[in-house]
Structure 1
Amino acid sequence: MPVRGLILPAFALFLAVAGTAGAEEEKVKDNIDCGYPLTNAERSFCADKALKEADARMQEAFDRLRVRLVEIDADLPDHLKGAPASLDEAQTAWKTYADKDCTAYSFPFRGGTRGNELYRNCLIVLTMKRTEDLDATVEDYAN
């Protein structure tokens, strides 16, 4: 059989094995206690999970604020409109700031697992703070 003829069966075997490994990995992840992660792998998994959750909460707060700013803009004269676009720009700038700030914070340790852990933890804290700020702004514009 030519080599090209082996590629498709080999790829199918790879996908089958990868699917099984993925299912087993998910079972293991379900058993990780993120309240007390013991290994570097567990700490990394839990930090990634916490960052995804913080990002999701921040996105929800951002979306609520953006909807409110669109509502407010609709009632303003043209020369005062633009809050949603400004919010979009601010969020992009905040993401750049957070990345650079956490890179600077973790930079001395970037060669090992500690650096990645510090970077993610920094992003989690900044993201939670940003979420609080977005929520507070939504409350400010509630009336």
Structure 2
Amino acid sequence: MNNTIIVTAALSFATLCTMAQASDQEVDCDNAETQFEMNHCSGLEFDAADKALNKTWSKIRAAVKTIDENNKEYAPYEPSAADNLLKAQRAWIDYRDGQCAAEAAQYAGGTIQPLIRSTCLTDMTKKRTKELQEMIVDR
């Protein structure tokens, strides 16, 4: 029994060392082969999608505030478009995070779980970015 514990500990240590070494090296995401590399690259892809969403959000929010200012005389007592957009965005983030957590939950304990979650987050974030971009029509 002691040998089993020692072997398990040694394998765990070797796995951790391999993962640490891989994280210190540049991963070629176009040719990711290991689950660690695929998880890492999908995380990077989500980070990029999230940055694009935030950049789009800033532009759309500013545009909507300008529209609110221009329309103030027509709807002085209505909640502003900017307030409604913020409410919608917060609800969307909650929905996205819950949906992707639910999709990834099927793989709990598996090494693919981070990939499933990141891929879902990336896909939904890209779709939301496109929705926001299409929301404002050049006037």
TM-score range, shorter chain: 0.7 to 0.9
8 A Cα contact 1:110 1:116, kept in partner: no
Aligned match of 2:58: 63
Aligned match of 2:117: 119
Aligned-residue CA RMSD in angstroms? Answer: 2.0
Indicate yes or no: 2:37 matched with 1:42. yes
The gaps in structure 2 that reach 5 residues or longer are 1-19
- Residues of 2 paired with 1:63 and 1:36: CA distance? 34
Aligned match of 2:69: 74
Letter in 2 for 1:57: A
Q: Give the number of the structure with larger relative contact order, counting CA–CA contacts within 8 Å between residues 6 or more apart.
A: 2
Cα deviation, residue 41, structure 1:
2.0
Aligned match of 1:137: 135
Cα deviation, residue 134, structure 1:
0.6
- Residues of 1 paired with 2:22 and 2:37: CA distance? 12
- State which drifts further: 124-133 or 73-82: 73-82
Question: Using a 3 Å threshold, how does the CA distance of structure 1 residues 119 and 85 change in structure 2: closer, same or farther?
Answer: same
Aligned match of 2:85: 87
Give 4+ residue runs of structure 1 displaced > 4 Å after superposition.
24-27
Secondary structure in 2 matching 1:79: coil
| Alignment size in residue pairs | 117
Instruction: Percent identity, please.
Output: 26
Cα deviation, residue 64, structure 1:
0.9
- The alignment's TM-score, normalised by the length of structure 2, stands at 0.76
8 A Cα contact 1:34 1:46, kept in partner: yes
Secondary structure in 1 matching 2:30: coil
Aligned match of 2:106: 108
8 A Cα contact 2:100 2:121, kept in partner: yes
Question: Using a 3 Å threshold, how does the CA distance of structure 1 residues 119 and 27 change in structure 2: closer, same or farther?
Answer: closer
Secondary structure in 2 matching 1:113: coil
Aligned match of 1:51: 46
